[in-house]
Each structure stands twice: as C-alpha cells, then as structure tokens.
Amino acid sequence: MSKILRADLVFSYWIYLWFLLYFFRFTKYSPKFALILALLHNIIMLLLMILFKTRISTIINFVIINTIIKVMPLYYLRKEKIIINDIYFTFIIFLLFVIWVHINKQTLTGNLKIIHDSLLYEKNRTPLMNILSKIKKF
C-alpha cells in the first residue's frame, strides 16, 4: 500500500489551520481569499471525480470533508470583505507551504498528483479520506 500524504503536506489543511487561528483571534489576516481559491479548486476536482466515474461514497466523503474545512469557514466569513493584505498574506502562506514541501523532499506537483490520483482513483492517500475509509472498514 502506498504511503499516506501527511496533513502538513496538503495546503488545504494549512488554510483550515489559518482559519482556526483567525477564528480564535491569533491573527488579523482573514483566510477568506484562500478559502475561495481552494473551494474553486475543489469544485474542479469534484467535476473531475464525476467525469472519471469515481464511486459515489468517495464523492460523498470528499464533499463532507470540504464542507467542514472550506464551506463552513467561508459561511462564517461571508460578511467579511477581502482586503489586499489578506491576499498578500495568502501568497506568503503559500510560499511558506512550498518551502515546507521542499524541505520535506517533496514537490508541489508531486503532491498534487498524489492528491488527484487519490481522489480520482480512490486510493485514499490524503489524511481525512484515509481516516474515513478506515472508519468505514471498521
């Protein structure tokens, strides 16, 4: 069995952690812009999953996970305006993520391929999808 991608190597979890830090007022920079971009990526991924005829159970798990880590935070932030400093901070966080990925001897494109293959071909190599598949087997 292939290795599971660690959560710290998936940018969506960085964004969710950023949301939690914002929610608990540890940072003044809103993750709304990053959440919108990530949700757009997930909509494309969902369409690909449908196109590739991914099992409905995998699609449902994907929707549940992304509702929790993206849609619910966006709903909480719905009345906030995106300001330029939030956009700058998004790029800074992404740059730090890319550096972190390389420090861990990974590549951004390699990790994206693992994530996409995991979702499209039901390999469950992303952290939360792996946990949900283990719960389902249990």
88-108, pLDDT tens digit by residue?
Answer: 999 999 999 999 999 999 999
| pLDDT at position 138 over 90 | no
Domain borders along the chain are 7-137
* Residue 26 burial class via C-beta count within 10 angstroms: exposed 0-12, middle 13-18, buried 19 and up: exposed
User: Does position 2 have pLDDT exceeding 80, yes or no?
Assistant: no
pLDDT beyond 60 at 51: yes
Q: Mind listing the pLDDT tens digit for each residue in 6-46?
A: 999 999 999 999 999 999 999 999 999 999 999 999 999 99
Residue 83 has pLDDT above 80, yes or no: yes
CA angle 98, 100, 102 (to 5 degrees): 70
The whole-number pLDDT of residue 48 equals 97
Summary mean pLDDT of the chain: 95
> How many C-alpha atoms does 108 have within 13 Å on its Cβ side?
9
Q: Is the pLDDT of residue 1 over 60?
A: no
Phi, psi values for residue 115, rounded to 5°: -65, -50
